[in-house]
Amino acid sequence: MKNDLRARREQEDESQADLAAAVDVTRQSINAIERGRYDPSLELAFKLARHYDCAIEDIFEPTLGD
């Protein structure tokens, strides 16, 4: 699954630690999501979408084979 989390975070001038604290996960998890190495749960995806005031599909985009 592709995502534009890093771009959104940088646009908001947030660090990975800031975002991690806002959605109550570790900084390593945010890093893994940004690198596409971990697909978040639906619950975390909703938290991220709520944090950036957008829909989940605005952040995440399924790639072929997902």
Partner 1 sequence: MTETSHPVQHRIARRRRHKRLMFGCLIVGIAGLTIGTYVDQYLLGVLIYWSGFFGMLGVWQFSPVTLYDERDTAIERKASDYTLGVFAFILVLGAPGGITLEASGVLALPEAFDGAMWTLVAVFTVFGVIYTVLRFRA
Interacting residues toward partner 1 by CB under 8 A: 13-15, 17-18, 21, 24-29, 32, 38, 40-41, 43-44
CB of 53 to partner 1, least distance (A): 17
CA distance between the termini of the chain: 7
Q: Cα–Cα distance between 15 and 39 in angstroms, integer? A: 20
Secondary element (H or E) of residue 51: helix 42-51
Going by the DSSP 8-state scheme, the letter that residue 8 receives in this structure is: H
CB of 9 to partner 1, least distance (A): 12
CB of 14 to partner 1, least distance (A): 8
